[in-house]
Amino acid sequence: MAGSGEITIVPPAPIRVTSQAAPSAKAQAQFVELYTRQYPRVVGYAQRRTADRARAEDIAAEAFRIAWEHTRTVGVPNAAWLFVTARNVLANDSRAELRLAELGRKLAVEAALRPSGWEWDQAGERFYTALDALADDQRELLMAHYWDGLSTAECAALLGCSAGAVRVRLHRARAALRHHYQSGEGKA
């Protein structure tokens, strides 16, 4: 009755549940072999693109970390997959470096636009000391919201929590900043 206008419902394919358990001994041995054969090549690949041995080793380490996760969930990847992953890690690293350089440029512009004088120097130093005294997560949230201009919804997506939780965390972070600023406390 395919021509009679009836809709045929096809059941979905079964979902394959993967285990996060350690790979089998065979997969582990294959991964060690992959690592032994490909690590120098991946480092060389990254080093030719960065001209920095330490950065190339970091990129290779991250590519192999991702490959290990792949081994745990899908199976041991091949060398081509590994090089694509290294290229992606390198691209991510380059984008992060560009963002850091842009932040440096913005901070330099802000510093150039600051009013000079005793009032700014003392208040600015006190503010940065108070900001530095905050817990890392509080400092990052305040910077993302106020300096980077992220909305509470965007901060929530970044942190993986609700917008309401972000508002509470912002309130607490501002209170902590106020406390450190008023008391003149900083990290020892």
**Cα separation of 45 and 39, whole Å?**
10
By CB neighbour count within 10 A (0-12 exposed, 13-18 middle, 19+ buried), where does 46 fall? buried
Q: What is the pLDDT of residue 185?
A: 62
Handedness of CA 166, 171, 174, 175 (dihedral sign): negative
Q: What is the DSSP letter of 132?
A: H
**Cα separation of 31 and 75, whole Å?**
9
**Cα separation of 113 and 120, whole Å?**
12
Q: What is the DSSP letter of 3?
A: G
Q: Which two tokens stand for residue 184?
A: 């003149």
Q: Which two tokens stand for residue 140?
A: 């990052």
**Cα separation of 74 and 72, whole Å?**
6
Tens place of pLDDT per residue across the chain (188 aa)? 444 555 444 444 444 444 467 788 898 899 999 999 999 999 999 999 998 999 999 999 999 999 999 888 888 899 899 999 999 999 998 888 888 888 777 777 776 665 555 455 666 777 888 888 899 899 888 888 888 888 899 889 888 899 999 999 999 999 998 898 888 765 43
pTM of the model: 0.49
Q: What is the pLDDT of residue 113?
A: 61
Q: Do residues 114 and 123 make contact, with C-beta atoms less than 8 angstroms apart?
A: no
